[in-house]
Amino acid sequence: MNLPTIISASSPSFSPVALRTRANHQAYADAHGYGYVHQEWEDGELSWAKPGLILEILESDPRIPRVIWIDSDAVFTNMDTPIPETSGVTMSCDVNGLCAGVMLLENTVEVRALLYAVSTSGPQLFPENPWSDQMALRFFLAGPPYDRLLKLRHQRAMNSYWPGAYSYPGAEKGHWQEGDWILHLPGLSHERRIEILTSVLDSQTGSLPAGSTESCSSGLNPCDQHPALS
Give the pLDDT score at 203: 61
What is 5-225's CATH topology? Spore Coat Polysaccharide Biosynthesis Protein SpsA; Chain A (3.90.550)
The average confidence (pLDDT) of the chain is: 88
Model pTM score: 0.87
Residue 77 — φ and ψ, nearest 5°?
-110, 0
Q: By the 8 A CB rule, do 116 and 53 touch? A: no
Amino acid at site 133: D
- CA dist 88 and 145 (Å) reads 12
User: Could you read off the pLDDT of 37-87 as tens digits, one per residue?
Assistant: 999 988 777 678 899 999 999 999 999 999 999 999 999 999 999 999 999
Where do the domains of the chain lie? Answer: 5-225
Which pLDDT score is estimated for 130?
A: 84
Q: Let me know: does 207 contact 180? Beta carbons within 8 Å.
A: yes
Give the C-alpha distances (Å, rounded to integers) separating 169 from 56, 161, 173, 177. Answer: 38, 14, 9, 18
157-172 pLDDT, tens digit per residue, is 999 999 999 999 999 9
Q: Supply the pLDDT for residue 204.
A: 54
Model pLDDT for residues 179-214, shown as the tens digit of each residue: 999 999 999 999 999 999 999 986 654 444 444 434
For residues 226 and 43, which has the higher predicted lDDT (pLDDT)?
A: 43
Kind plus residue range of the DSSP H or E element containing 161: strand 160-161
